[in-house]
A = this chain, B = another copy of it.
Amino acid sequence: MKTSNVEVICPMITPFDGEGKPSRENLKVFLDDMKEFGINKIFPLGSNGLFNLMTLETKKSFLKMIQEEASNFEVLVGVGSQNTEEAREMAKYAEDLGFDKIVLQPTYYNKAEQSWIIRHFEAVSEVFSGKFYIYNIPQFTGSRVEIDTMKSLVENIGRIEGIKDSSGDIRFFNEVAANFSDSLKVFQGQDDLLLQALSIGAKGGVCGTTNINPLVTDVYKYFVDGNITMATKTQRIFNQFFKMVNEYPFPSMVYAAFYRKHNIKGKLPDPITTIPRIV
């Protein structure tokens, strides 16, 4: 396949060490994998990164590591938080470190109203001058970013570069694509729906399985090369693999597979209890 710029972003794990702390050494191993997989876009401190299980200080120290080690990558920094104050703090820190793209979802626990989502983005935009990605993941935040809210953000913030929809709701995704794929980068956040997202106009995918396996990038490549038959075939084979990965509580499996592949002793932060053995 001739595709060079693969629009598949890795929503990366935080490569914790055996004590549950981010490890520079493991990060290097991870980034080597990415190069090997042909992936040059990473999204640290997202849901796969378990940002919510890390303290503000730990998140900052890990972001510093990314800055120092991942200079060859396009980095979309996850600054999402349960409240605006901490999201601003992270966004400011990302700006200070020189990053120019952040990913932001609604606050969570008590469910955000649409007006709260707008206020959240505005408040963060006051301290970050780069580009924004809107991150829709209602199964975790409790609130969907509605189409009208997206429109309002695009209009008022003015620096929205893309949208990551991880809702898994294909009809909602199709609405996002219909409204924004001509002007913004619309990404599918569910690996098993990549081909169907591309077929309706998505730019690419933010695919968790790329933490451990590049297969889903072939779906992208075949599609943009116009080889639908092979894209279909690959997505279907991939989906069997994806099903296996999802038999374990999110996001244990990608961690387990990464650690096992490299024979690393890693530990996930409390309260995650176990890393499943891979058969």
Which positions in A face B, CB cutoff 8 Å?
47, 50, 52-55, 82-86, 107-113, 115-120, 123, 139-142, 168, 170-171, 174, 177-178, 192-193, 195-196, 199-201, 226, 228, 231-232, 235-236, 239-240, 249-251, 269-274
Closest to A105 in B: B109
Closest to A115 in B: B273
- Give which listed residue, B47, B54, B139, B171, contacts A83 with CB less than 8 A: B54
A193: chain B residues within 8 A (beta carbon):
170-171
Closest to A86 in B: B55
A249→B115 CA distance, assembly (Å): 11
B110 touches A108 (CB 8 A): no
Q: How far is the CB of A184 from chain B (nearest CB, A)?
A: 15
8 cross-chain pairs, A with B, having the tightest CB-CB distances, nearest first: A84-B270, A120-B271, A52-B109, A196-B196, A116-B271, A170-B170, A119-B271, A53-B83
A228: chain B residues within 8 A (beta carbon):
199, 226, 228
- Give which listed residue, B53, B123, B239, B269, contacts A271 with CB less than 8 A: B123
A249→B55 CA distance, assembly (Å): 28
A53: chain B residues within 8 A (beta carbon):
82-85, 107
A54: chain B residues within 8 A (beta carbon):
83
Q: How far is the CB of A57 from chain B (nearest CB, A)?
A: 10
A55: chain B residues within 8 A (beta carbon):
83, 85-86
